[in-house]
Amino acid sequence: MQLLIQLRWIAVVGQVVTISLVHYGFQIALPLLPMALVLVALVTTNLAYIYWSQGLHRPVTSRSVFYALLADVLALTIQLYLSGGASNPFIYLYLLQGILSAVLLPAHYTWCVVAASFVGVMGLTLFHQPLHVQFVSQEGLPSLYVVGVLISFALTSILTIVFLTRIVENTRRRDKRISNMRQRASEEEHIVRLGLLATGAAHELGTPMATMSVILGDWQHMPALMQDEDLREDLQEMQRQLLRCKSIVSGVLLSAGETRAEGTESTTFASFVQGVVSHWQAHNSLQHFALHQQGVKDFAMLSDTALQQMICNLLDNALEASPDWVELTLSSDHDQIRIQVRDHGPGFDAAVLQQLGQCHVSTKQERPGRGLGLFLVTNVARALGGRVHAGNLPAQQGGGALVEVSLPQSALAI
């Protein structure tokens, strides 16, 4: 309907120009008042359709478009009746109504528009107000009639091309949106499968880890083993790593909603990020790590395990690429919270940047499960209404990669 309204405005302007040119330029007397009333009626109906679709937010149906095209056919018929009938070269504009109906409407409505146009043409051959003008050309054809036919042909062609071009562009945009929706549905289905596999693995790992915990506890109470200092340190390290595995498994089950949580914790953004960073640093060591906060106003939020995992994934990827240097920067711009992680590693390949966020797209070809980190980061950001941008830094800035996640503060704040 929006496109049809635009075409009707073009038609109104075209009729004003044509009537003025014929009446004042070619000195052909036309009934200006009736023709002007038809134009006023077209403008009024156009404004009514704008108010209907945009002001009242009513859905545009095939029937409403059908009525609009019938109104156009009626207006064209009246204008041609007032200006020579079927002998008027602009009678070919009926073809435009048929083309529009064929593109926009179902078949039965299209045939109704074509039938109305045919009735209008037949009626104009019998009933019309003749133009009392004599035209003479060397070829025996009315010269101004030929000019009118050419203008009518050009106008019909231009309007048809403009309309069909817009239709093709809308179709391409629709196809692109459908493709993106299918891609997103496929990614979400993949995430569901990963969640089911992770939950199943967490269930299966519960029993072996419980057994290992009992065995390690028994070993730590055996004097013969505890007398060996190296063996005692190894047992303590095994106990710490086992406790970490239990914590990870509990987190997986808690995220899946299969265990009873103590309650969602209320915190602040600064405290939340600081807690995530402290937890990550406790299990990773590197020469240089810095957390920068650039003008971020603290706000209340709920602790989110998905957001925590997203930040940890970014830091883990940076640590793998640059074992000695990682920086995390927090900044804000209006309602957007920006989380930037940079490293001094080799950076991203061009192919990875083009397919950023797709599953199993990674520079780590030798590792199983590659590409899941940024895939999960992208989907968590998308679920929160944000976006992810990645790029390589120039050598003047130390090189490496930069990953930026932008999230709306309204999606996090409470």
pLDDT at 247 over 70: yes
What distance in Å separates the CA atoms of residue 296 and residue 333, rounded to the nearest whole number? 9
pLDDT at 186 over 80: no
Which residue type, as a one-letter code, is found at position 174? R
What distance in Å separates the CA atoms of residue 275 and residue 5, rounded to the nearest whole number? 57
Phi/psi-derived region of residue 399, left when phi > 0, alpha when psi is between -120 and 50, beta in every other case: left
What distance in Å separates the CA atoms of residue 147 and residue 246, rounded to the nearest whole number? 87
Q: How many residues does the chain have?
A: 414
Q: Under a CB-based contact definition with an 8 Å cutoff, are residues 216 and 238 in contact?
A: yes
Residue 146: its H or E element: helix 143-220
Residue 290: its H or E element: strand 288-294
What distance in Å separates the CA atoms of residue 336 and residue 413, rounded to the nearest whole number? 12
Residue 343: the pLDDT is 92
> What is the pLDDT confidence band of residue 148, given thresholds at 50, 70 and 90?
confident
pLDDT at 35 over 90: yes
Question: Angle CA(159)–CA(66)–CA(5) in degrees, nearest 5?
Answer: 45
Main-chain phi, psi angles of 167, to 5 degrees: -65, -45
Residue 251: the pLDDT is 66
* Greatest mean pLDDT range, 147-156, 240-249, 320-329: 320-329
Strands 325-333 and 266-268, by their bridges, are: unpaired
What distance in Å separates the CA atoms of residue 177 and residue 172, rounded to the nearest whole number? 9
Residue that has been written with the tokens 């780590």 in this structure: 364
271-294 pLDDT tens trace? 999 999 998 888 888 888 999 988
Question: How far is CA 192 from its chain centroid?
Answer: 22
Q: Please count the other Cβ atoms lying within 10 Å of the Cβ belonging to residue 225.
A: 14
Strands 325-333 and 288-294, by their bridges, are: parallel
Q: Does residue 285 sit in helix, strand or coil?
A: coil
Residue 257: the pLDDT is 54
Residue 259: the pLDDT is 44
Q: Give the CA count within 13 Å in the CB-facing half-sphere of 76.
A: 29
What distance in Å separates the CA atoms of residue 13 and residue 46, rounded to the nearest whole number? 13
Residue 292: its H or E element: strand 288-294
Residue 219: the pLDDT is 85
79-103 pLDDT tens trace? 999 988 888 888 888 888 888 888 8
Question: Per-residue DSSP letters for 84-145?
Answer: TGGGSGGGGGHHHHHHHHHHHS-HHHHHHHHHHHHHHHHHHHHS----------TTSS-HHH
* Greatest mean pLDDT range, 29-43, 251-265, 386-400: 29-43
Q: Under a CB-based contact definition with an 8 Å cutoff, are residues 261 and 238 in contact?
A: no
Write the CATH number of the domain with boundaries 266-411. Answer: 3.30.565.10
Question: Rounded mean pLDDT of 349-353?
Answer: 82
Residue 200: the pLDDT is 66
What secondary structure letter does DSSP report for 324? T
Residue that has been written with the tokens 């990669």 in this structure: 401
Burial of 84 (0-12, 13-18, 19+ CB in 10 A): buried
Question: How far is CA 157 from its chain centroid?
Answer: 33
What distance in Å separates the CA atoms of residue 372 and residue 361, rounded to the nearest whole number? 8
**Who has greater pLDDT, 135 or 348?**
348
Residue 412: the pLDDT is 87
Domain boundaries, the chain: 1-130, 193-256, 266-411
Going by C-beta distance under 8 Å and a sequence separation of 6 or more, which residues neighbour residue 98?
110, 113, 114, 117
